[in-house]
Structure 1
């Protein structure tokens, strides 16, 4: 393949990539795509200058320094765009990459290294490999908090481009050790540029799909899994140690009636956060509807499951929500059931619901354990003496404390 064809393909890869990035940026508003588009566009301009210079239509000093400085700047903006896209943050530290590129251009121009074809090509490709290596590090680092398959494709494309840029440098500096001809490595770089653009677009699409899935599975108010997702996540085959906890906010209707639905929403969110904080990542949690929540845990005993529910009850009791001159202190009732023998998840949930009913009938602000014994006996466990438990005097509202004006 002759040089003119290679330069044409090289320029085309950047132009197509820039157009795609601009379009996707307009549709998705993802950070970094604008810098990627500008970077690819500058690389296309640099390639055009190099092609025009090779054909003798531009002065030698103009096209050599122009293609070098614009190309180096383009790769810095490309790395900056990948940094922002990968982390989904507009980090000001990314501007350091542009400063490095501009400083390198000033040094090369001041030393007139751009006039030497070998020096210019070696420095340019070494700089390219450095920016691509930085981009590889960023994409790999952010893979663990966001495990999207497109990241692996993008990482492979960036790594391949880095390797081929390094091979070009080796071939220029030590031709006898270069494992591949520079023009072939240059051609492979064109394919890598197309591949990078492709996987950036796929990454944006996968990210949008993941966000839609998250919205579909998450309760919009509290931010925890909704009923549909929670119930679908429960294993079909239960085993010894599986536990179900049903939790209900006591007298929540009274909160809405007395303080308004906005205050009720604040209480709901606060209680949900408290439950999630106590439960941690070791169990499934969901809002079943209204003021009712549920947890599914594995590898539990009656004591540990009950202790989890009791810890949640105490954590909720420690909450306080200001409403005018008053403080709303919510409480919850909870029912706990442990899997024993051959029963379905629905049956286990029914047992926990029965235990919750006993807790409410027993005065609320308490935890009850449904023991699935042959006699269907239901036993109540209390971590603190019953005489020390204080229930709302009216039986209609959570505790309310007067606050000084």
Structure 2
């Protein structure tokens, strides 16, 4: 019996040893697989970083007006020409693009100082005027860019939020006005979208005709006045804007867009870029400015950060009647000639362009043929 017990014990020990060896072999195999996958992931991340760097390199030449030293609003591909308006104000989302292009050496530093710095007074403090008076124009760049106390941009952002809060109180609604969807749909039942703002902060006329509040505007304000913004978001949620995917796009108080007997309408949609901006604002507040720290760690941006530290001017002209300044937005110019692009010479019916001043007439076809006449005389 003792011998049998000893044999069973040795057999059990051998089996345990084999199990441990099998387990160790399996662990080695898993470690090797993990190392291989980690290496593949690191290579993929390096490739993505290179791809992101390549995508960050842009050609601004066709968008940059070298005379005005400003970026145009956009480029019309169909007509092969730039828009006639410009990003010409410092209080604009375009300052982020302008700053990055300067840091990359794609635009001259003078383009930063070519941005307009029209000032007005709100709450006793000077604030830069924007075009649309929206929260987006003032605060969107702060989602990634740092800000510095006692600077022109910092005071502008604080004063703009305070004016937004005051304006909401004056109108008897929650505050936070920015570009967003509103209570109008197209034939496909898609909500329409455009910019809204506070009249005192924007050069654009007619800002007081609409009253649309967007929750993401309050989310942006978390970076400036976190307590007030949090209370306003709670108020919006209590007013029925809380949906399955977060707060709805907006609430429209404009009387002309209400059903009979109703004073507001919730815009029941979710826009990915507004949700994304909200998440970045939450990260700013809850995670200690992670995006701003990454921004500041880039050597190119470090060399350009002084542009963000512009001091508040001690003596300057303040513009009180901002609606009268809206004409400054678009450069004075005559009516533009329409542009027609003929892409192919091979069409079943010739495409014809006619030009005339009443006496001299020119006809050109898309195949290259044509004729010209002076009164009744062929030329």
Structure showing the higher strand proportion among its residues? 2
Q: Which range, TM-score by smaller chain?
A: under 0.3
- Larger relative contact order (Cα-Cα within 8 Å, sequence gap ≥ 6): 2
| TM-score when normalising by structure 2 | 0.21
Structure with the larger helix share: 1
What is the TM-score with the length of structure 1 in the denominator?
A: 0.20
